[in-house]
């Protein structure tokens, strides 16, 4: 019997992967399953990006790169941040990592320990809480309420700070709600943090380029007051449909970059070289594939919201970012997780129960609209038939 460290008794998982596995098993058994569970764009990586990786391999980029990534890529990241947010980031503070999740892992590992408080959004990406628990720190949920347009309240967040708080995790545009935090709320939060220079901020902006109807994505990078303690999490997975490439980046503040670099050297040495060249082509090449994808997501978003609001007992706000809808299902008489299972097993539609994203997710389910408009329409029809059927008969 092997005894591992205690953290493994507390670590969780993303239930989206379990739902995907179950949906795949059902499909293998011949069932027609429509997957609205998984958070990955249903698009191919644009061709010029794929070609750049192939070329890198042909050109002999087969060895280690610097631990923080190749310089042209870090420069391109800095230029992209400047173009999108107006903020100056030094390529020296940029770190290329194997997926956005890795930045989360590193930041939480850097601060988490017994006796420490870490604030995270609830409902939110499940890995925040899982990693906090792994380290033995106390997870402190920041409520994300539908009544507050699915964003945090700066006032409420500041009230949750204790002398033990070391890290505050923010995520906008948000998974699972699609909420986008307005600039005014962020300004209030930044002002309130002025007297707590001992608190680091991890801003997860992986959906930063995915907003709709002109909603502004307000990057934390734009706030000079936070720059010496802000960790920016971003990457290519969602914007360029590159989830399987495992490519992300962070911008670390001066006081943490060397620690981050040492972690990388200890753990993965560097991100695989061809993927880095692909990332470079993504940032410096044409952006029309991103625009086309967002137009398609926007169309589906309207379809999903309209369809959900026509279901008995369901009401859905219009998400302003990412590619998720988070409808309120409390008037259906169902609890969220049993409803998600029944929809999969009986109606052949994979969605995720809100409680998989935190305790405040009860009463909601998450639908990803990373599936064709045709499949979304079919899924909504199935959900309608299912919810109209008297249950327990």
The 115-134 contact track toward ligand PLP, x by CB under 6 A, reads: ----------x---------
| Cβ-contact 381, 63 below 8 angstroms | no
Distance CA 381, CA 308 (A): 10
**Residue 118 and residue 132 in contact, taking contact as beta carbons nearer than 8 Å:** yes
Cα within 13 Å of Cα(57), Cβ side: 9
In the complex, the smallest distance separating the C-beta of residue 331 from ligand PLP, rounded to whole angstroms, is 27
Q: How far is the CB of 260 from ligand PLP (least distance, A)?
A: 16
> Contacting ligand PLP (CB under 6 A), which of 235, 321, 327, 355?
235
Beta carbon of residue 181, minimum distance to ligand PLP (angstroms, whole number): 13
Which listed residue (74, 101, 217, 229) binds ligand PLP by CB under 6 A?
A: 101
* Positive or negative: CA dihedral 359, 304, 172, 68: positive
Q: What stretches of 136-272 show up as alpha helix (H) in DSSP?
A: 154-159, 183-192, 254-267
| Angle, alpha carbons 227-177-294 (nearest 5°) | 80
* Subset of residues 322 to 351 that bind ligand PLP, contact rule: CB under 6 A: none
Query: Pick from 39, 112, 123, 319: which binds ligand PLP (CB under 6 A)?
Result: 39
Work out how close the CB of 268 gets to ligand PLP at its nearest, in angstroms, rounded to a whole number: 13
Peptide bond into 223 cis (omega under 30): no
Q: Does 204 bind ligand PLP (CB under 6 A)?
A: yes
Q: Tokens 């398609």 belong to which residue?
A: 296
User: Which residue lies nearer to ligand PLP by CB, 16 or 289?
Assistant: 16
The residue range among 95-103, 106-114, 326-334, 343-351 that interacts with ligand PLP, by the rule CB under 6 A, is 95-103
Among 37, 41, 46, 100, binds ligand PLP (CB under 6 A): 100
Closer residue to ligand PLP in complex, CB, 99/355 = 99
Q: Are 349 and 355 in contact (CB under 8 A)?
A: no
Candidate residues 135, 175, 276, 368; the one interacting with ligand PLP per rule CB under 6 A = 175
* Shortest distance in whole angstroms from residue 244 CB to ligand PLP: 9
Nearest to 171 by CA among 124, 129, 139, 104: 124
Number of amino acids touching ligand PLP (CB under 6 A): 13
| CA distances from residue 269 to 66, 334, 345 in whole angstroms, order as listed | 8, 48, 43
Q: In the window 72-91, what residues touch ligand PLP (CB under 6 A)?
A: none
List of residues 6+ apart from 241 with CB closer than 8 A: 40, 41, 43, 44, 45, 46, 289, 293
Name the one range near ligand PLP by CB under 6 A: 85-93, 94-102, 252-260, 365-373. Answer: 94-102
Smallest distance from ligand PLP to CB 123, Å: 11
Least CB distance to ligand PLP at residue 102 (A): 7
In the complex, least distance from residue 100 CB atom to ligand PLP, rounded to whole angstroms:
3
Please state, in angstroms and rounded to a whole number, the distance separating the CA atoms of residues 113 and 234.
Answer: 25
Residue 248 lies near ligand PLP (rule: CB under 6 A):
yes
User: DSSP secondary-structure letter at 151?
Assistant: B
Residues that bind ligand PLP (CB under 6 A): 39, 99-101, 125, 171, 175, 204, 206, 235, 237, 243, 248
């Amino acid at each position: 019997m092997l005894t591992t460290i205690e953290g493994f008794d507390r670590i969780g998982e993303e239930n989206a992967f379990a739902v995907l596995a179950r949906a795949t098993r059902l499909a293998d058994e011949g069932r027609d399953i429509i997957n609205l569970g998984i958070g990955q764009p249903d698009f191919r990586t644009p061709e010029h990006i794929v070609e750049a990786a192939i070329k890198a391999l042909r050109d002999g980029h087969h060895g280690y790169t610097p631990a923080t990534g190749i310089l042209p890529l870090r420069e391109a990241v800095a230029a992209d941040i400047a173009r999108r947010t107006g903020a100056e980031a030094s390529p020296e503070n940029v770190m290329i990592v194997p997926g956005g999740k890795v930045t989360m892992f590193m930041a939480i590992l850097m601060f988490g320990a017994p006796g420490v408080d870490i604030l995270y959004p609830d409902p939110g990406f499940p890995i925040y809480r899982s990693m906090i628990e792994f380290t033995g720190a106390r997870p402190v949920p920041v409520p994300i309420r539908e009544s507050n347009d699915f964003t945090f309240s700066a006032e409420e967040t500041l009230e949750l700070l204790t002398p033990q708080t070391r890290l505050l995790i923010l995520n906008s545009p948000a998974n699972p709600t699609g909420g986008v935090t307005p600039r005014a709320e962020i300004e209030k939060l930044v002002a309130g943090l002025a007297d707590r220079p001992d608190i680091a901020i991890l801003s997860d902006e992986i959906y930063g380029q995915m907003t709709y109807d002109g909603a502004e994505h307000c990057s934390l990078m734009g706030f000079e007051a936070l720059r010496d303690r802000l960790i920016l999490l971003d990457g290519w997975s969602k914007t360029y449909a590159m989830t399987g490439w495992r490519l992300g980046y962070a911008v670390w503040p001066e006081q943490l970059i060397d620690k981050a670099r040492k972690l990388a050297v200890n753990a993965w040495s560097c991100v695989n070289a061809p993927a880095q060249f692909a990332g470079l082509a993504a940032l410096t090449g044409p952006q029309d594939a991103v625009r086309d994808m967002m137009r398609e997501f926007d169309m589906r978003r309207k379809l999903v919201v309209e369809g959900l609001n026509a279901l008995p007992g369901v009401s859905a706000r219009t998400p302003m970012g990412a590619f998720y809808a988070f409808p309120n299902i409390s008037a259906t008489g169902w609890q969220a997780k049993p409803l998600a299972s029944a929809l999969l097993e009986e109606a052949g539609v994979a969605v995720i129960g809100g409680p998989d994203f935190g305790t405040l997710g009860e009463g909601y389910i998450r639908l990803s609209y990373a599936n064709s408009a045709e499949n979304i329409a079919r899924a909504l029809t199935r959900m309608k038939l299912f919810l109209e059927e008297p249950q327990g008969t």
